[in-house]
Structure 1
Amino acid sequence: MKIKYIIITAAVTLMSSCSDFLEPESLSTFDTNYVFSNVDDARKGVNAIYSHFGQDAFRSRLSNNMTGNTDIERQSGWNSNGDRYQIWNLEALESNRDLEIVWTYAYQAIRDANIAIEGLEASGKLESSDVTEANTMNHLLGEAYTLRAYWYSMLIYYFGDVPYIVEAPKAGNDFNLPKENRNVILAGEIQNLINVEANMLWADQVPYGIEQVNREYTLGMIARLSLQRGGYYLTPDLTMARESDYLDYYQIAKDYTAKLISLKDRELPEDYRQVFMNECKFLTPVNSDVLFEVPFAVGNGDVAWNIGVRVEGGPTAAHSYGSGNNYMAIPPTYYLSFDTTDIRRDVTCSLYKINPSFEQEFVNGGLDIGQGKWSRHFLDTPPGASSAKGTGINWPMMRYPDVLLMFAEAENELNGPTAEAQEALKRVRRRAFDATYWGTKVDAYVGQVSGGKDTFFDAIVDERAWEFGGEMIRKYELIRWGIYSEKMAETVEGLKQLADAAFNGTTQFPDYMYWKTDESGDFTILNPNRRVVAPPDDTWNQQSFLLALHSDQFTYQEWITKDWENYINGPQPGVVRYIFPIPASAIANSQGTLSNDGYGF
């Protein structure tokens, strides 16, 4: 199924878009009482919230572009002063356009959510005697609250304390509100979701399934927001802190993941690759792995344009799949962290690209490892030789393994690695390995890491990296765990060790990789896991791999020492200054209410 409401600008939006901070310019001729008086128009009113996913603020920025650098994805921000480079290097200015569009569209989505919430709650239809009408209207209310909570979560991760707007805009309202404490906002949004989730519908009960916010996703969002609220965050004096009541929020995360597991459990589909191939094939199974994914219409969305397997196309190419880049490369430390029998590695880490002749060949430079879960060349219908953006491939917002691992994490924090926590971790790992390995890679492994709370937590940190690589949620996890800078330092040290061992000839890993394509065009690597002295015959191509980490001039390639430098030795060494300044336009439009204070700005 492929629906189109993401790029629709709903005609029922009551306030026109504007550059000023949430200030309405004019009232629409539509009346909210009419719009939310019937199911069809109310659906359109809620669709207005979804429409903002179709803007660059989400489709390229928040979904993937702005979520590096971490220990499992990287990009060099120090070699340019462009907007996205400033963000990657943690040196964004108030004038940064990418931050401005995220701020603007986040608050426009929140505005439209508030309009829908007020309209639905005032409609009288939530208590309709028509059961179908009441169920639908209550579900729409849950969608609106859930989407608003998502945007507030993102604003908090990027800007810290922000204005908390919970009313629909009306002429005469004061829109120049001051910042609200991030913990107050998160607590409020969590409670709102708790209030509405029981009246929502499951994915198999709504028209658009997982392409529509559903009860599964809302339950998962209660847990995700609770772990954000109960986790660490950066204070204006550049220290990492967490509130004294953090265990209360771990309890909420445990309760609501347990509720979803109890009410709507499902077996993880056996084929890990197929989860993402479904998105490339426009397949949206319910009661499966993905709980909710942003439904980009064909012609919209940047998946397999700026993230995914690199495809070199254009009007002179021998194929009609167009061009796709990959902004977030995978560091070899992450690739080599996988167990060699973990099937997720070769799905997540693409060591090949598609060249203009429509052939697979080794990635550029040997270390430009791509995000292998999506590619435009997986599409059933080639989008055109000159195409780039607009693949229509959906973006996953939450998957069921996330629920299982959030449950395991919360349970461990509260009670240690109990049998229930261990079983949740095992369920995720069972899919990652052939059944012949379950005795060692699942049961024995989980038993080994379950000796105490700390070792089990470390296993959760690792498992989330292996399970969600390329899905660009790692940044938020490292923040709430309070280990962002620590993990960046580990990554740099790990890369240096790999470079040294390869250069000195002492590595057990591939200093070179040897690859070829067979007659059917299948791409094969001789030694994906180990060093070999030479290939068995001359049909193999040699590609420098770990040896490419070394630099005769700098000892290590510059990106190793520079990509994460501000994450390790920024304004406060050992603390990542992940908070960015509020855009200058928002400050100017706030009439003195907002300012960039603290965080070393």
Structure 2
Amino acid sequence: MKSSAYKSIILAAASFLAVSCSDFLEPESLSTFDADYIYSNVDDARKGVNAVYSHFGQDAFRSRLSNNFAGNTDIEHQSGWTSTGDRYQIWDLNALESNRDLEIVWTYAYRAIRDANISIEGLQASGKLESEDPVERRTMNHLLGEAVTLKAYWFSILTFYWGDVPFVDFAPVAGGDFLLPKADRNVILTEVINDMIEVEENMMWADETPFGIEQVTREYTLGMIARLALQRGGYYLKEDLTMERASDYLDYYKIARDYTAKLIELKDRELPRDYRQVFLNQSKFISPVNADVLFEVPFALGNGDVAWNIGITVEGGPTAAHTFGSGNNYMAIPPTYYFSFDTLDVRRDVTCALYKVNASFQEEFVNNRTNIAQGKWSRHFLENPPGASSAKGTGINWPMLRYADVLLMFAEAENELNGPTDAAQEQLKRVRRRAFNESLWSEKVDGYVTSVSGNKEDFFEAIVDERAWEFGGEMIRKYELIRWGNYSQKMQETVEGLKKMADDAYNGTGNLPDYMYWKLDEKGDFTILNPNTKVVAPPDDSWNQVPFLLSMHDETYTYSQWITKDWANYIEGPKPGVVRYIFPIPASAVANSQGTLDNTGYGF
């Protein structure tokens, strides 16, 4: 049964957000009297903090941040050069300051921060954080932790996409100065990390709260301390289009190591053995605590874009033979990623879907041959079809952080500080054990990890690979490539890998499938004859032949143009070898700043 958590958030937030917002830094605010009343009791304070969550229900997050903004990478991509539309500008790294998608994300990020600041100040001024009633005291401190962590999330996003941005660290008040200049992204990240460190010990675990992983809990905050610490300690783009990391970066790797270790020590859990079920749970509206997912955005039925613009394609409509509606996927998976997996790794066929569901409610090979879908979600996994003409609003939750991520962050940070120690190797092994049948652990887990643990550099590259295999389709790769400083390098490797696959298929020199052969078996299940290798011919004429890697060759251009153009600005942008991932501040924000903000630098 679908949780009502998000519905309560939306309903509660409605009265708290019934204010205009003429500009991101100058919203009308709740009166002091209202704030004093709201945060004087647990029930209303809960509603106040729920207002911060409500912004996840806007397009700024639903389709843009959770999906569109997070491409292109070596494992998820989309063509941006084919159009001048807003989303295409973003995919092609050529977004103008008039781009509406940028304005929407910027605006709602600061609205969420505004509401977080209102909650933080209201809770701190309430006197309830030191209440003599232990239940009230604990609940109010937990609510403070939620607001602090959500604020940190939105500033993390702002600094990834805009670098230095205004740091709004106060609730709006009449007569306040809202014309803030840009603050250094390192200062911002340091502040929000420290804020989370200050509150996390007074927060509750997911199994102690009424909505579990559908709201922020202590395990998510601990994980976010580590995630933002790695962001703070990682590389970032300077205005002169150079990549740099701060001289104190090891201090933040230590924070990441210490706080992942703290979560592992205090609230360890075995990763669920069934990798597919981790994501199927979201389509089945199951949100287990003490499992892999630490926090997922709780979309209500009728809200959310999961399985509409991300996931397996389902062809629906009023004339379809099913009532699951229509959905596709904006971010395809390149064949280089698909073939990077060990063929025995169970994560590949969960992550990479080579089929779609047609209007007759039958599975068939994906459109456009190599347009591999993100297979972790699909509207046809829903138990109650949402209607033949439905599209958006599946109600499928979106995972924000998993425990597997915590384990790999620990391994990465420990390696950076001390090399591939036994502790670092063990956390990598824990993630890989789920990926393979237990009978293969000696070779695929223990043997593999030993082989990549000879030195810090090799182990780091193994972490880069493992994070790709573990989190494909979850749209966090872009953030990792940025902080690792290898974004352009990975794009170049992807293009060269695709070209080689196309050449080998055309010249007949490769062992990978130039064609794939598929059919529906006796049970009606979609089956591929040769998902891993080339075959000369199918055993009989019951198989459908589809050009696969061969389709990447083009008689006119040598290679399909998406290979040479999708990542072009990631390789040969304004400064070759450096990805200009920073976007211009929206024109409306620049205008409203009365000269405080501008778009100098970054080659704009």
> TM-score by structure 1 length?
0.99
Q: Secondary structure at the match of 1:309?
A: coil
Aligned pair partner of 2:570 in 537, 544, 567? 567
Q: Is 2:514 aligned against 1:545?
A: no
What letter corresponds to residue 375 of structure 1 in structure 2?
Answer: S
Alignment partner of 1:425 out of 415, 428, 437? 428
Partner in structure 2 of residue 93 of structure 1? 96
Question: Counterparts of 2:11 and 2:536 in 1: how far apart (Å)?
Answer: 57
Q: Take 1:85 and 1:11, find their aligned partners in 2: how far apart are those partners?
A: 33
- Find the aligned partners of 1:362 and 1:576 in 2 and give their Cα distance: 34
* Alignment match, 2:65: 62
Q: Distance in 1 between matches of 2:173 and 2:156?
A: 25
The SS at the match of 1:543 is strand
How has the CA–CA distance of structure 1 residues 81 and 526 changed in structure 2, closer, same or farther, with 3 Å as cutoff? same
After the TM superposition, which segments of 4 or more aligned residues of structure 1 sit over 2 Å from their partners? 5-9, 11-15, 24-30
The residue matched to 2:67 in structure 1 has which SS? helix
1:202-222 CA-to-partner distances (Å, cap 9, x unmatched) read 000011000010000000000
- Alignment check: 8 A CA contact 2:293 2:401 kept: yes
Query: How far, CA to CA, are the matches of 1:66 and 1:107 in structure 2?
Result: 17
Contact 1:383 1:391 survives alignment (8 Å): yes
What's 1:73 paired with? 76
Matched, 1:186 2:185: no
Q: Does structure 2 retain, via aligned residues, the 8 Å contact 1:349–1:370?
A: yes
**1:443, 1:578 → 2: CA distance?**
37
Among 126, 130, 133, the residue aligned to 1:127: 130
Q: Which residue of 1 aligns with 2:399?
A: 396
Give the 3 Å change call, closer, same or farther, for CA 29–196 of structure 1 in structure 2.
Answer: closer
**Partner in structure 1 of residue 475 of structure 2:** 472
Does 1:147 find its partner at 2:150? yes
Secondary structure of residue in 2 paired with 1:548: helix
Q: Choose from 227, 234, 238 the match for 2:237.
A: 234
Q: Is the 8 A contact 1:350 1:371 kept in 2?
A: yes
Shift of 1:7: 3.5
* Structure 1 residue 17, shift from structure 2 partner: 3.4
Which whole-Å deviations, capped at 9, do the CAs of 1:457-502 have from their partners, x for residues lacking one?
0000000000000000000000000000000000000000000000
CA distance in 1, matches of 2:531, 2:114: 50
Deviates more, 1:2-11 or 1:438-447: 2-11
* Equivalent of residue 256 in structure 1, options 232, 237, 259: 259
Question: Aligned pair in 2 of structure 1 residues 17, 9: CA closer, same or farther (>3 Å)?
Answer: farther
Q: 1:224 — aligned with what? A: 227
TM-superposed CA distance for 1:167, in Å, is 0.5
Name the residue aligned to 2:207: 204
Q: Does 1:24 align with 2:4?
A: no
Aligned-residue offset at 1:22: 1.9
Cα distance, 1:29 vs structure 2:
9.2
**Structure 1 position 113 matched with structure 2 position 113:** no
2:180 is equivalent to residue 177 of structure 1? yes
Structure 1 contact 317–357 (Cα < 8 Å) conserved: yes
Distance 1:14 1:524, change over 3 A: closer
**Cα separation, 2, equivalents of 1:295 and 1:338:** 31
Aligned to 1:157: 160
Residues 25, 195 of structure 1: alpha-carbon distance in 2 compared, 3 angstrom cutoff = closer
Separation in structure 2 between the aligned mates of residue 392 and residue 29 of structure 1, nearest angstrom: 36
| Closer/same/farther in 2, CA of residues 418 and 201 from structure 1, 3 Å limit | same
CA contact (8 A) 1:92 1:581 kept: yes
After superposition, residues 423-572 of structure 1 pair within 5 angstroms as 423-572=426-575
Secondary structure in structure 2 of the residue aligned to 1:337:
coil
Please name the residue that 2:16 is paired with.
Answer: 13
| Alpha-carbon displacement from aligned partner over 1:92-121 (angstroms, at most 9, x marks no partner) | 000000000000000000000000000000
Q: Deviations over 1:392-429 (max 9, x none)?
A: 00000000000000000000000000000000000000
Look up the match of 1:33. 36
The answer on 1:297 being equivalent to 2:296 is: no
Contact 2:119/2:144, CA 8 A, preserved across alignment: yes
Q: Displacement, 1:549?
A: 0.6
Select between 247-256 and 22-31 the one with higher mean Cα deviation. 22-31
Question: Any conservation in 2 of the 1:6–1:297 contact (CA below 8 Å)?
Answer: no
3-state secondary structure, aligned to 1:291 = strand
Deviations 1:256-306 (A, max 9, x none): 000000000000000000000000000000000100000000100000000
Distance 1:257 1:370, change over 3 A: same
> Could you tell me how far apart the structure 1 residues matched to 2:8 and 2:514 are?
49
Measured in 2, the distance between the counterparts of 1:14 and 1:336 equals: 48
Secondary structure at 2:540 match in 1 = coil
1:140 aligned partner, one-letter code: L
Q: Is the 8 A contact 1:12 1:44 kept in 2?
A: no
Asked whether the equivalents of residues 570 and 580 of structure 2 are also in contact (C-alpha less than 8 Å), the reply is yes
Deviations 1:143-185 (A, max 9, x none): 0000000000000000010000011000000001000000000
Output one character per residue of 1:224-282: Cα deviation in whole Å (capped at 9) or x when no partner.
Answer: 00000000000000000000000000000000000000000000000000000000000
Q: Residue 452 of structure 1 aligns to which amino acid in structure 2?
A: N
Match of 1:79, SS state, is: coil
User: Does the Cα contact within 8 Å between 2:356 and 2:365 map onto a contact in 1?
Assistant: yes
1: CA distance between counterparts of 2:510 and 2:338? Answer: 15
What corresponds to 1:307 in structure 2? 310
The answer for the alignment partner of 2:371 in structure 1 is: 368
The aligned counterpart of 2:333 is: 330
From 324, 336, 360, give the equivalent of 1:321.
Answer: 324
- The CA RMSD over aligned residues, in Å, is 1.0
> What letter matches 2:489 in structure 1?
E
Q: Which runs of 5+ in 2 are unaligned?
A: none
Check the 8 A contact 1:509/1:529 in 2, yes or no: yes
Counterpart pick for 1:406 among 394, 409, 417: 409
**Which amino acid is the alignment partner of residue 197 of structure 1?**
E
Hey, what's the Cα distance between the residues in 2 that align with 1:6 and 1:404? 31
Number of residue-to-residue matches in the alignment = 601
CA distance in 2, matches of 1:38, 1:13: 15
Could you tell me whether the CA contact under 8 Å between 1:14 and 1:115 is conserved in 2?
A: no
Q: 1:196 and 1:27, CA in 2 relative to 1: closer, same or farther beyond 3 A?
A: closer
Q: CA deviation at 1:597?
A: 0.8
In the TM superposition, what whole-angstrom CA distance separates every residue of 1:360-412 from its partner, at most 9, and x where no partner exists?
00000211100000000000000000000000000000000000000000000
The residue identity in structure 2 corresponding to 1:412 is N
Distance across 1 between alignment mates of 2:519 and 2:104: 44
Distance 1:478 1:565, change over 3 A: same
Q: Which amino acid aligns with 2:79?
A: S
The Cα of 1:519 is off from its aligned counterpart by 3.2
- Give distance in 2, aligned partners of 1:368 and 1:152: 34
- In structure 2, distance between residues paired with 1:485 and 1:534: 39
**Structure 1: gaps of 5 or more residues:** none
CA contact (8 A) 1:7 1:296 kept: no
Q: For residues 522 and 42 of structure 1, what CA distance do their matches in structure 2 show?
A: 51
1:234·1:241 contact (CA, 8 Å) conserved in 2?
yes
1:26 and 1:454 mapped to 2: Cα distance? 51
SS in 2 for 1:52: helix
